[in-house]
Chain A
Amino acid sequence: MRETIEETAHARTLALDVPGWPGHRAGQHLDVRLTAEDGYQAERSYSIASAPELDAVELTVELVDDGEVSPYLIEEVIPGDVIEVRGPVGGHFTWSVDDGRVLLIGGGSGLVPLMAMLRHRAARASTVEARLLASARSEPDALYRREIETLRPQEGLAVDWTYTRATPAGWKGFARRVDAEMLAAVGPGPSAGARVFVCGPTPFVESVSDLLVDAGYDPASIHAERFGPTGG
């Protein structure tokens, strides 16, 4: 553990130095295994938040009340601690700038792997078309909001937030759950041939995936990843 970064009231980023790290692709996972003194083990699979171009491996962990692993990672771990990890793993939910235009739709902590993709795109100074639709309960709950605002002026990048519970004063953006009208407004539309990545809680992913298919997106172009209640 190199350092920790507070992201929101419920989420923390852990920056890890992993000896012998072979490099990863944006969207891949890292498995974290904790072993108690009595030998009991708990393992969780977390999306990597950092760009492959960064020299540290960053995870952003959201606190799960009564969880087995996340309270430890959020409240207990300090720089210098050693954590057992396995990875990088996964290949389905990955994207690089060489794959072409992309539509990213994230709900809550589902933004984490999408952030790795945007950071990768920024690190490569790519202008490949990328659209991000990020859903959060409110502005204080929105992960990476300040960093995303600094990325916003990049050529080829479009960013939309939607806040589902509370909006900042004077907010003119979306303020509801993702629906067909919102997807049509965000684009790029099913004929653009974009790869689509949807990540968030299971109901969010199922709902957005169905809306995309109904709108005419090719199911094979939609990559889904679900975060859900596993005891975190």
Chain B
Amino acid sequence: MTDDCLDGNGMAGLLAEATGAELTSAIRHCQSCGNEYAIGNHRAYRGAGVVLRCPGCAALAATIVERDDELLIAWHGVLRVPRPAAA
């Protein structure tokens, strides 16, 4: 049994630090299957960086690589990020 978070929810701190936004509740429209899922609901895989995959079709959603002074983030599909006033 393991104990730490292994999906998009677990990336909340990393994404908030890099972007200043709470992105786990942002909705991603998948470029592959066309379904929409919250970033928090995406599957996460850790290696040298983090890979997020669509929970519906497993298509690549994002890759996140941490370097000393920056994050490299590649997004796929369309992210719908609520504005703070609308949240």
Contact = CB atoms under 8 A, between A and B. Distances in A.
Contact of B12 (A44, A63, A90, A228): A90
Contacts of A227: 2-6
A31 B14 CA distance: 9
A10 interface: yes
Interface in B1-15: 1-14
A50 interface: no
A232 interface: yes
For the residues of B in contact with A, the DSSP-based class is mixed
B25 interface: yes
Given A47-B5, A201-B1, 8 more contacts: A29-B5, A45-B4, A46-B3, A91-B24, A92-B24, A93-B9, A201-B2, A230-B4
Contacts of A229: 2, 6
A62 interface: yes
Range of interface residues on B (Cβ < 8 Å): 20 to 34
B46 A230 contact: yes
Given A29-B9, A225-B9, A92 B39 contact: yes
B17 interface: yes
A10 B55 contact: no
A186 interface: no
16 contacts: A44-B4, A45-B5, A45-B9, A45-B13, A46-B4, A61-B3, A70-B2, A89-B12, A89-B16, A89-B22, A109-B1, A202-B7, A223-B38, A224-B40, A229-B2, A232-B3
A213 B76 CA distance: 26
A86 interface: yes
B5 A226 contact: yes
Interface string A53-72: 00000000111100101100
Interface residues of A, number: 37
Contact of B40 (A11, A44, A109, A223): A223
B55 A230 contact: no
A29 B2 contact: no
A229 B3 CA distance: 8
B29 interface: no
Contacts of B1: 10, 62, 64, 108-109, 201
B4 A90 contact: no
Contact of B3 (A29, A70, A87): A70
A28 B16 CA distance: 13
Contacts of A224: 7, 40-41, 55
Interface string A215-228: 00000000111111
B2 A232 contact: yes
